[in-house]
Amino acid sequence: MTVVSEPKGASPPRRRSFYDKDVQAIVWQAVFLCVVVAIGWFLYRNTMQNLAARNIKTGFDFLGSEAGFEIGETLIAYSPAANYTRALAVGFLNTLQVAIIGIVLATLLGIAVGIGSLSKNWLVAKLTAGYIHFLRNIPVLLQIVLWYTILISERFLPGPRQAEAFLGIFATQRGVYFPVPQAHAGWTAALVGFLLAAVALTLMSRWNAQRREDTGTARSLFLPGVALLMGVPFLAWALNGAPTAIDWPTLRGFNLSGGARITPEFAAVLFGLTVYTSAFIGEIVRSGIMAVPKGQTEAARALGLKPSVILRKVILPQAMRVIVPPLTSQYLNLTKNSSLSVAVGYPDLVNVANTTINQTGQAIEGVTIIMIVYLVTSLATSAFMNWYNERIALVER
Amino acid sequence: MLKRSLIAVATATLALGICTTANAGSRLDAVKARGQLVCGVNTGLAGFALADSTGKWTGIDVDLCRAIAASMFGDAEKVRYVPLNTQQRFTALQTGEVDILSRNTTWTLTRDTQQGLNFAATLYYDGQGFMVAKKLGVKSAKELDGAAVCVQPGTTTELNLADYFRANNMKFKPVVIENLQEVNAAFFAGRCDVLTTDASGLAAILTKDAPNKGADHVILPELISKEPLGPAVAQGDEQWIDIVRWTIFALLEAEEYGISSTNVEQLAKDTTNPNIARILGKTPGMGKAIGLPEDWVVRAVKAVGNYGQMWDRHIKPLGLPRGLNNLWNKGGLMYAPPIR
Amino acid sequence: MEAAPPKILDDRAQWLRANLFSSPLNSALTILILVALALVVPKILSWALFNAVFAPDPQACRAAKGACWGFIVEKFRLMTFGTYPYEQQWRPLAVTILLLSLIGATMNLRLWGRRLWITWAICVPLMWILMRGGSIRIPWVLISGALVLTGLIGLARNIGFRDWRFISTLVLLLAGVYRFASSGVFDYPLFLATGMPLVETDKWGGLPLTLILSANGIVFSFPLAVALALGRRSELPVIRALSVGYIEIVRGVPLITVLFMASLMIPLFLPSGITVDKLLRAQIGFILFAAAYEAEVIRGGLQAVPKGQYEAADALGLSYWNKMGLIVLPQALKVVIPPMVNTFIGFFKDTSLVIIIGLFDLLGAVRLASSDVEWRIFYVEGLVFVALVYFAFCYTMAVYARRLETHLNVTTGR
């Protein structure tokens, strides 16, 4: 109650200084910071007390100890004898795998759908618009679960023992098995050759663009490009023994083995993410193209350019400036939505971290790891897309 | 300005003062004050904890909670059941959301030490098994090389599975799904060759969840691990764990001395056996020692029967033999320390 | 098109030519699509309609080649209301109707005003009471919290020290803090018997749960979002930094981690002995998550308000709160209504994630229904049903948002 009586003693000259904008600013910020710090400290102290009272282990020591569980899909060598750090790395790589493939597919599909929805062909326009409106209004988790249920259901797909091959490809409840070339130095050489050819082609197109700037003339790189990309890998393959052996999937024991395999878990997550995100990207592309002034198309047509050239060289470059920022957030959304893998058992980062939390009982550490990894990934993606955005923005003169 | 900042500081100080006043006290007092036991159970596993369409829970894990509630309040209905999945179960106990975790949980060293849990006793001696479709023609777990295995994450099962295949130099592909229903659905749809969990769980799934009433599937003979399942409480409260532990022992003692839900009241009045008299509180002292009313065992047994009755009610219908869970003097492992 | 022959064609033929066969490429495309449709559509129709079973008979379903909509007929109540006690299901039904009509009313811009917001403020606690039933005990924490909040709001406004309002808010504030500090959290001064049986939140499920989570999430995240947006545009560096940090961190992580945190970690953050209901924890996680996204939308609106408006308010000597509350926010919020509705659609869809932390929303209820061994293989039909329900809600809102956009563009005339 003593506090209440104090305001009476407030002296007028001081009051003015309080209403001074700068002083007020500092006071408010100080108070606000105090409150935030106090809340943070309050939560921290509670947590520490709770953990200590119940004798729960804390810290990140567990990262070095043996994980002990098996993971279904791994891009790097992993066994139950590996430690938790490696298990989490496997999960993170799986996240990256599904996110990157998903982003590429969703972009291609989204651009197709977006352009299609502006088509003069009534059928194409209506179908693509229906696609966009229908699929973006169904939760992505539901789509993933629906895909998974269909892909593992005996009503829609046969079991591995009943499956019959089509061109050597088996579509079963356990996933899609397809033949791949048997591992051989020739294939590795071909891959290296392809990469080298791609690098060479990039350099050539740079040089070509420079020449166009300088002299105004440039040769088409289409034919040499195709020759380079096909020829170099072929030569590398032929010179390294020209292997032709193919690894066919065959029924062995319970399951098909050999060949390569796409699991239903991966496929469900990938389909769900791709389809859902492509609907959004389609809408973004559509509004991006609509944002390009009509005069641009008309001018291009007056110059006698072909419709495909107008789209590629006039409309899309301008639309990109409108498209890239929202596209970035769609890429980030797709990456974050890949965390829904946990619902169908695709071993992404969240799934592995979730298992880690359950096995070690260290929820705080587990959730912190997930958050930090996603934050870093998100920031890196934004940084890259901002860089790209600036680059295409420079095209404007 | 001075006044206002003073007030702000005073407010903050007072507000922070609050957190020190919140004091949980002992768990027993908290439960008594609440008038209700909060019991963490499985989200749905026949024989252990399963809710029917009206929301009534039954099972051996549920009966333990009912027995504790009965001995504390004289009313087995004073329990609130919190269904927990594998992810939530330990946190729920650690944070005090539930008083007791009675959820077919395996007693292991790390859980008992590092994870803030204290296991009271073993309620059910189990082991991990495998279920396969009959048409696969598999007779032994040793033939499972290359199989796809459905398993729930975050369980000892998941770790034993990896150990077993490693030890036998076999390979497998795990299909790891969090939700029990979805693991079962994936297995019965044919996503995996094998479903693995505790043998009791497999039996429950076979009777309740398998198509064709379980005629198409078979549980393999091997048990690959020891799974002592029992209730756990949070660390740091000796009195509370004693109550949980000795309730189990009392239910076992009751079976050993032939005390059942039908004759318990009769015996409590006119037994001449000094052991039974002590257990049922005719000779007072035990209740006081544990911090419960003297007739605590009478109340518990009246509500749920003795351990054997619990077993017959919930586990027998699953077609499981009593085996290890028989009393020590009938060839099993169930051996309760004396109540004296 | 430009080379249209000067024949007199019937309208329909002209339309076909213009829209389907305008060029060789288009003609080819049209034919290709028609062939594909002719192949696919009959298959889908025969699965979904002609060969489908609509009677709740699992044997007939197994025998049939098509879909089994009988599953939805049989389990309709379970899918809609989850595990809520059967004979009490009029309560979630009432809540659903109440919420839907409230949302419908809110969609009508003419009804916007103090009366509507007060109705919302009354209905939100009413819904919880109706769903939960039993006797409602109101702990001191809530009452003190309300008192402290009133006091703080009073302090935040510029009221003179000798003003009676200042003194009374101060008294309220101190009373609140005193009561809070001295009572302990288990004291419940108010007791309200509803006369309805108690239904714990872990039995809530289905459509009402989805609606409650999203409606509450949107309503309660909104003030926080406004505060964050203002904070991010603030000239005070500390407040700006904290707002930016919060917004960017929350937007950088998936919702599922926020829900994990809410479901696993909130109990660890609180003093021992205090537990928060599982549903409420998910709800809190949701609110905190939604606020960050909404804040960014509102920030867009704040940026759209012409600088002259800010300057004019400053010139009039308005305080910060008056400037924002009376001049800037009304204009900013009006601009962001359509994108806001789109954000809400996103959250409505996102509520499906609570299934991962073990709540039975619409999706969870369908999974529960399909755990019945008789019906398990017809899970797909259940999921399709839920997908259509979600689509119906989201598409309605999306159409509404688009119409609103046109409407607002016309009325603001900018």
Whether B234 shows a pLDDT value over 60: the answer reads yes
Contact across the interface for C239 and A32, Cβ inside 8 Å: yes
**Of B102, B61, B106, B82, which is closest to residue B311 (Cα–Cα)?**
B61
| Beta-carbon contacts below 8 Å between A and B | 149
What's the token pair of residue A351?
């799934």
Between C161, C185, C271, which is nearest B3 by CB?
C161
Spell out a b/e string for C23-45, using b for 16 or more CB atoms within 10 Å of the CB, else e.
eeebeebbeeeeeeeeeeeeeee
Is the same domain home to C8 and C130? no
**Of B292, B288, B303, which is closest to residue B240 (Cα–Cα)?**
B292
Between C162, C264, C394, which is nearest A137 by CB?
C394
Query: Do the Cβ atoms of B113 and B235 come closer than 8 Å?
Result: no
Contact across the interface for C167 and A46, Cβ inside 8 Å: no
Among A5, A138, A287, A374, the strongest candidate for a mutation testing the C interface, having the largest count of C CBs within 10 A, is A138
C186–B contact, CB cutoff 8 A: yes
Collect all residues of chain B within an 8 Å Cβ-Cβ radius of residue A3. Answer: 6-7, 10
Look at residue C298 in the predicted model and tell me its pLDDT. 94
Look at residue A2 in the predicted model and tell me its pLDDT. 41
For chain C, how long is the longest CA-to-CA vector? 93
Top-confidence residue, A19 or B199: B199
**Of B324, B327, B323, which is closest to residue B308 (Cα–Cα)?**
B327
Look at residue A3 in the predicted model and tell me its pLDDT. 44
Top-confidence residue, A37 or B96: A37
Collect all residues of chain B within an 8 Å Cβ-Cβ radius of residue A343. Answer: 178
Look at residue C145 in the predicted model and tell me its pLDDT. 72
Look at residue A87 in the predicted model and tell me its pLDDT. 96
φ, ψ at B317 (rounded to 5°):
-60, -20
Residue C189 lies in a domain: no
In this prediction, residues A126-140 reach a mean pLDDT of: 94
Query: Do the Cβ atoms of C271 and C368 come closer than 8 Å?
Result: no
- How far is CA C334 from its chain centroid? 19
In sequence order, the 6+-apart residues with CB closer than 8 A to the CB of B98 are B38, B39, B40, B82, B84, B92
Between C170, C252, C355, which is nearest A4 by CB?
C170
Summary mean pLDDT of chain A: 86
Between C257, C363, C390, which is nearest A371 by CB?
C257
Collect all residues of chain C within an 8 Å Cβ-Cβ radius of residue A47. Answer: 268-269
Contact across the interface for B161 and A70, Cβ inside 8 Å: yes
C202–B contact, CB cutoff 8 A: yes
C-alpha span between B79 and B40 (Å, rounded): 10
Chain A: give the shortest CA distance to residue C12, in Å.
Answer: 13
Between A9, A50, A154, which is nearest B189 by CB?
A154
| Single-letter code of the amino acid located at C215 | A
**Of C285, A50, C261, C171, which is closest to residue B22 (Cα–Cα)?**
A50
CA atoms within 13 A on the CB side of B79: 31
Q: Give the other-Cβ count within 10 Å of B135's Cβ.
A: 10
Collect all residues of chain C within an 8 Å Cβ-Cβ radius of residue B185. Answer: 370-371, 376, 379
Whether B15 shows a pLDDT value over 50: the answer reads no
C268–B contact, CB cutoff 8 A: yes
Is the same domain home to C408 and C321? yes
Contact across the interface for B188 and C161, Cβ inside 8 Å: no
Whether B160 shows a pLDDT value over 50: the answer reads yes
Collect all residues of chain C within an 8 Å Cβ-Cβ radius of residue B4. Answer: 155
C148–B contact, CB cutoff 8 A: yes
Residue C187 lies in a domain: no
Assign A88 a pLDDT band (cuts: 50, 70, 90): very high
Spell out a b/e string for C180-212, using b for 16 or more CB atoms within 10 Å of the CB, else e.
bbebebbebeeeeeeeeeebbbbbbbbbbbbbb
pLDDT tens profile A271-280: 999 999 999 9
Collect all residues of chain A within an 8 Å Cβ-Cβ radius of residue C156. Answer: none
Contact across the interface for C363 and A141, Cβ inside 8 Å: yes
DSSP B118: E
Look at residue A235 in the predicted model and tell me its pLDDT. 86
Q: Give the other-Cβ count within 10 Å of A216's Cβ.
A: 7
Residue C63 lies in a domain: no
Look at residue A8 in the predicted model and tell me its pLDDT. 46
| Beta-carbon contacts below 8 Å between A and C | 160
In sequence order, the 6+-apart residues with CB closer than 8 A to the CB of A106 are A273, A274, A277, A278, A281, A330, A334
Chain B residues 91-150 with a CB less than 8 Å from chain C = 91-92, 94-97
Whether A159 shows a pLDDT value over 50: the answer reads yes
**Lowest pLDDT segment from A80-94, A95-109, A151-165:** A151-165
Assign B22 a pLDDT band (cuts: 50, 70, 90): very low
Look at residue A66 in the predicted model and tell me its pLDDT. 92
B35–A contact, CB cutoff 8 A: no
Is the same domain home to C6 and C125? no
A359-to-A300, B90, B122, C27 alpha-carbon distances in Å: 63, 10, 21, 61
pLDDT along chain C (414 residues), means of 10: 56 81 84 92 91 89 89 90 88 93 86 84 86 75 70 62 65 68 56 77 89 89 93 89 93 93 84 78 94 93 89 88 87 87 92 89 89 86 95 93 80 49
φ, ψ at A221 (rounded to 5°):
-95, 5
Is the same domain home to C374 and C285? yes
φ, ψ at C285 (rounded to 5°):
-55, -45
Number of H helices, E strands in chain A: 14, 7
C-alpha span between B300 and B73 (Å, rounded): 10
Among B177, B181, B238, the strongest candidate for a mutation testing the A interface, having the largest count of A CBs within 10 A, is B177
Give the length of chain B: 340
For chain A, how long is the longest CA-to-CA vector? 98
Chain A: give the shortest CA distance to residue C25, in Å.
Answer: 10
Assign A389 a pLDDT band (cuts: 50, 70, 90): confident
Contact across the interface for A25 and C395, Cβ inside 8 Å: no
Q: Can you name the residues that pair with A132 across neighbouring β-strands? A: none
DSSP C326: I
Contact across the interface for B88 and C356, Cβ inside 8 Å: no
Contact across the interface for C265 and A364, Cβ inside 8 Å: yes
Look at residue C180 in the predicted model and tell me its pLDDT. 61
In this prediction, residues B293-305 reach a mean pLDDT of: 95
Between C181, C272, C278, which is nearest B18 by CB?
C181
In sequence order, the 6+-apart residues with CB closer than 8 A to the CB of A16 are none
Share of chain A above pLDDT 70, in %: 93
C-alpha span between C214 and C384 (Å, rounded): 21
Query: Do the Cβ atoms of A162 and A275 come closer than 8 Å?
Result: no
Between B54, B80, B185, which is nearest C85 by CB?
B54
Is the same domain home to C310 and C212? yes
What domain count does chain C have?
A: 2
Is the same domain home to C106 and C37? no
B191–A contact, CB cutoff 8 A: yes
Is the same domain home to C37 and C95? no
Whether B5 shows a pLDDT value over 60: the answer reads no
φ, ψ at B26 (rounded to 5°):
-80, 155
Query: Do the Cβ atoms of B310 and B58 come closer than 8 Å?
Result: no
Q: Which chains touch B (3 or more CB pairs under 8 A)?
A: A, C
Chain B residue with Cα closest to A30? B5
Q: Can you name the residues that pair with B37 across neighbouring β-strands? A: B79
Residue C251 lies in a domain: yes
**Of C365, C229, C361, which is closest to residue C299 (Cα–Cα)?**
C229
Residue C141 lies in a domain: no
B238–C contact, CB cutoff 8 A: no
Whether A140 shows a pLDDT value over 50: the answer reads yes
Q: What is the ipTM of this complex?
A: 0.86
Whether A1 shows a pLDDT value over 50: the answer reads no
C-alpha span between A190 and B117 (Å, rounded): 57
Contact across the interface for C394 and A43, Cβ inside 8 Å: no
Chain B residues 258-287 with a CB less than 8 Å from chain C = none
| Single-letter code of the amino acid located at C139 | P
Is the same domain home to C305 and C212? yes
Collect all residues of chain A within an 8 Å Cβ-Cβ radius of residue C350. Answer: 139
CA atoms within 13 A on the CB side of A184: 18
Collect all residues of chain C within an 8 Å Cβ-Cβ radius of residue A145. Answer: 363, 383
B190–A contact, CB cutoff 8 A: yes
Residue C289 lies in a domain: yes
Contact across the interface for A18 and B1, Cβ inside 8 Å: yes
Query: Do the Cβ atoms of B313 and B304 come closer than 8 Å?
Result: no
Chain B residues 215-274 with a CB less than 8 Å from chain A = 234-236
In this prediction, residues A212-228 reach a mean pLDDT of: 78
Collect all residues of chain A within an 8 Å Cβ-Cβ radius of residue C254. Answer: 336-337, 339, 350, 374
In this prediction, residues B258-271 reach a mean pLDDT of: 93
pTM for the model: 0.87
Look at residue B51 in the predicted model and tell me its pLDDT. 84
CATH code for the domain in which residue C326 is found: 1.10.3720.10
Look at residue A396 in the predicted model and tell me its pLDDT. 47
Query: Do the Cβ atoms of B156 and B108 come closer than 8 Å?
Result: yes
Is the same domain home to C16 and C108? no
Chain A: give the shortest CA distance to residue B257, in Å.
Answer: 37
Is the same domain home to C201 and C282? yes
C-alpha span between B127 and B221 (Å, rounded): 11
Is the same domain home to C370 and C304? yes
φ, ψ at A241 (rounded to 5°):
100, 0
Collect all residues of chain A within an 8 Å Cβ-Cβ radius of residue B234. Answer: 54
Q: Can you name the residues that pair with A66 across neighbouring β-strands? A: A83
Task: Tell me which residue range forms the domain holding C9.
Answer: 1-46
Query: Do the Cβ atoms of A137 and A279 come closer than 8 Å?
Result: no
Residue C159 lies in a domain: no
Chain C residue with Cα closest to A134? C391
Give the length of chain C: 414
Averaging pLDDT over each range in A41-50, B104-113, B176-185, which range is the top one? B104-113
Give the length of chain A: 397
Collect all residues of chain C within an 8 Å Cβ-Cβ radius of residue A91. Answer: none
Residue C157 lies in a domain: no
Is the same domain home to C81 and C39? no
Look at residue A77 in the predicted model and tell me its pLDDT. 92
Whether B144 shows a pLDDT value over 60: the answer reads yes
Contact across the interface for C384 and A146, Cβ inside 8 Å: yes
Q: Which domains does chain B have, with CATH numbers?
A: 27-125+228-325 (3.40.190.10), 128-225 (3.40.190.10)
Look at residue A10 in the predicted model and tell me its pLDDT. 45
Collect all residues of chain B within an 8 Å Cβ-Cβ radius of residue C178. Answer: 14
